[in-house]
Structure 1
């Protein structure tokens, strides 16, 4: 059964969510996890990609946008409008930046989701939380790293 952790982002600044995402990606990467990021759209996927490139070389995280290299070739894969179940194969951690719950394969161990600061985003996160609970997943909520 997958564990779902919601990280609550307290700042409405657009960079706050993406900075938290990159911080958590680094934590998961350091634990040798294979990660797929489901972005809301291509612009968000490219923003995550750009932030990961800005990490200092000694802490580099190998990653690619879907279609820019072999799908299984890097520990971190960033996608946006592709079928989610197919992308989650060979990955054990999902970062969900979408408004809806992604379709997943059974072997996913952990889902990392986010509660944004705006009211619309909070309501969408509540809906995802209820959906995950109906699926019988273990749920936790933590403050997002800054």
Structure 2
């Protein structure tokens, strides 16, 4: 069953990150601890670099192995951070989307996490993504943060 979990955000920022970015980092870490392989898709390369830096800045006991798409690594990392459709070839279990449009490769996933930001413009884009997922037959759920 294909499932999309939308998180309804109640604030714009969480420290130096957008609330969606901070929550994406936490959800990716939780999924990894549960044995899942994750890809976080960002809107821009700069956002991907911000997420990468945020994951590196976590306390050592909260570290999660990750890499940016296209980085040469000896072993596949459990968390990949991508932007503009770039992605490595490894199979991933969970897609965490920070993009304003549906990512191109959603059909290779059964579990997607998406966000409904606070600003009205971004809320409208999230509503559109919600409708698109529903039209594609995905099971949808929402959770207030």
TM-score with structure 1 setting the length: 0.88
Number of residue equivalences? 142
Structure 1, unaligned stretches of length 5 or more? none
8 Å Cα contact 1:88/1:94 also seen in 2: no
Alignment equivalent of 1:63, drawn from 55, 59, 66: 66
TM-score with structure 2 setting the length: 0.89
1:98-124 alpha-carbon deviations (Å, 9 max, x no partner): 111112254412100000100000000
Cα root mean square deviation, aligned:
1.9
Structure 2, unaligned stretches of length 5 or more? none
Match of 1:21 in 2: 24
Match of 1:108 in 2: 109
The separation in 1 between residues aligned to 2:116 and 2:20, in whole angstroms, is 9
Helix, strand or coil: the match of 2:18? helix
Structure 1 pair 67–89 and aligned structure 2 pair: CA distance change class (3 A): closer
1:61-90 alpha-carbon deviations (Å, 9 max, x no partner): 00001122349710000010135xx65750
The separation in 2 between residues aligned to 1:105 and 1:130, in whole angstroms, is 15
Which has the higher mean CA deviation after the structures are superposed, 23-32 or 112-121?
23-32
Q: Which has the higher strand share?
A: 2
Structure 1 pair 89–135 and aligned structure 2 pair: CA distance change class (3 A): farther
Which has the higher mean CA deviation after the structures are superposed, 96-105 or 31-40?
96-105
